[in-house]
Homo-oligomer: A and B are copies of this chain.
């Protein structure tokens, strides 16, 4: 007797998480990092879920990275005690940082200006709480941070150290690695990331300042780093789910993507070669991260309800609640009648998952669907 798929009756669109693939992805990164003698500090901005965090963190509770104070508050409330808020601190947000720390969470923050350092020091003096701080380093021109040779690193370090904050270390993120392709190029980026962080740490130590933590990471560099000498911890987020952007640069395959959007066929425009589904950009997100890659996956690759990739088609366009599936160049559009259920693999798992309030979880043991809530906001 065939067991009916739990996805046959789930209202669409819905966010589906394959628990077995999640477990495999987590295991893969832990296995890669184990011989490199670093701590994995998963970035929970991809998860935004207590249930996912339990499966991703060491012992279900271990060190974590977050992108918002809301994440910090939610995960601290669930018992996570070592959290790094990895977005440059706004002085206005220090009150919430202090409240979380007063409640027992070892929350650390990051910054890259003396203005921020002075604000942290003032808060530390006022409260007597030695707020732990990492100085943000720019390793590849991607976004924030100080050049690893910038004398401001030591200047900021001195402000923090002398002012009653805790100078915990340095942090960098090779965001440009998302534009590299293949194992060799990604390994090179991992070395760029490592070298910048270690160099900045050496500057601090040469000035007589402490730097116990040297934190690096991005999903591409974490998977392809060959040597992490001098690094103490690695951060990565999307590794838990993977997505088409990661597949496009060779970090994973499409079969490694743990999240997808379940959708239903609601129409056809035969003359234009279109199949209309009920997942538009409100479900898929507006992320077009594969647009600049060798293969543009539109708004996502299409699988059948059971997750088998349909190689001839992609979601070519998206309106708010309509997705338009079309054939890839030279391919033929399959017949997919009204009511057919499909699953769409996302360009960017963080963006697509953020469009939903829960995961419909396909359990590893093949049993009934579980529902894991997601949160959002700041």
Contact = CB atoms under 8 A, between A and B. Distances in A.
A14 B269 CA distance: 40
Given A175-B319, A321-B68, A350-B320, A143 B264 contact: no
Interface of A: 9, 11-14, 45, 67-68, 87-93, 96, 112-113, 115-116, 138, 141, 143-144, 175, 264-269, 272, 276, 278, 281-283, 285-288, 319-322, 324, 337-339, 350-351, 354-357, 376-378
A264 B90 contact: yes
A269 B145 CA distance: 8
Given A175-B319, A288-B286, A320-B45, A378 B12 contact: yes
Nearest to A276: B144
A65 to B, nearest CB: 12
B92 A264 contact: yes
A115 B264 CA distance: 14
B143 A266 contact: no
B322 A144 contact: yes
> Main secondary structure on chain A at its contact with chain B?
loop
A269 B322 CA distance: 40
Contacts of A288: 286, 288
Nearest to A8: B92
Identical copies in the complex = 2
A87 B321 CA distance: 7
Given A267-B112, A267-B144, A13 B378 contact: yes
Contacts of A377: 356-357
A272 B141 contact: yes
Given A67-B282, A144-B322, 10 more contacts: A88-B267, A88-B276, A90-B338, A115-B337, A115-B338, A143-B276, A143-B319, A143-B324, A144-B269, A355-B376
A143 B96 CA distance: 47
Contacts of A14: 378
Contact of A338 (B91, B96, B320, B351): B91
Q: Nearest 5 pairs between A and B by C-beta?
A: A286-B286, A88-B266, A115-B338, A90-B264, A67-B321
5 contacts: A9-B92, A87-B322, A88-B266, A286-B286, A320-B350
Contact of A378 (B11, B68, B269, B287): B11
A18 B147 CA distance: 41
Nearest to A112: B267
Nearest to A91: B339
